[in-house]
Amino acid sequence: MRLFVGLGNPGAKYSGNRHNIGFMAIDRIAGDHGFAPWRSKFQGSVSEGRLGTERVILLKPETFMNLSGQSVGEAMRFYKLDPADVTVFHDELDLAPGKCRVKSGGGHAGHNGLRSLHQHIGEAYQRVRLGIGHPGHKDRVAPYVLSDFAKAEQDWLDDLMRGISDGASALASGDAARFANAVALRTAPPRSSKTTDPPTASAKTPEQKVDSDTRSPLQRLVDRFR
């Protein structure tokens, strides 16, 4: 059994926030893979289903971000799970928007949700880091993560959610590489075969042409008047 946790803040006020991208990922998995209706449990919302051959519990803590560990710890104790059975989806300031990385263990890097998880379950859980970019200065971080994604960001956000859903079964089975590949196919698809090929050596652009004339400038001038 796997426990997939999405981090965010509860309530319609926060639903579109960058900080809630973890909730968005969990919601997408639940909707695309036919999970059971959400119900209240473990100080959060819970849905059960299967991803491939794995039974998976989806959890959205409703304790607010900085107390997320309380909800996750309660669910783990109920299902008798270890931290290694837990995968947490969260926003990541240190990744460019739309990037996705999987890692296990490590620090919380100041993320309030991860800090709470460290306090309640330790650090040996898996994280799916979902890039939202950085506002440029630490004083702008709080209003940035608590603001909604801009309209211009919806395309890459949807691609990322689709990729996460595509790769969810692989992630549940422990194949992080195949999961990452599924995300990449959505967020950075292969170039079409119709893409213009780069110039060949025989058809170089003017900037690429090599001057094969080895004469000095003085010799060229002399030759012009011969």
Please identify every residue annotated as catalytic.
Answer: 19
Name residue 128's beta-bridge partners.
Answer: 89, 102
User: Per the structure block, which two tokens stand in for 104?
Assistant: 């296990």
- Name residue, tokens 């991208």: 21
**What's the rounded Cα separation, in Å, for the pair 75 and 95?**
29
Q: Select from 216, 102, 213 the least CA-distant residue to 164.
A: 102
**What's the rounded Cα separation, in Å, for the pair 122 and 125?**
8
**3-class DSSP state for residue 171?**
helix
DSSP character for 158? H
Inter-residue contact 84 to 205 (CB < 8 Å): no
**What's the rounded Cα separation, in Å, for the pair 29 and 165?**
5
Q: 31-53: string of b/e by CB count within 10 Å (b at 16+)?
A: eebebeebeeebbbbbbeeebee
User: Per the structure block, which two tokens stand in for 38?
Assistant: 């959400």
Q: Select from 99, 116, 100 the least CA-distant residue to 108.
A: 116
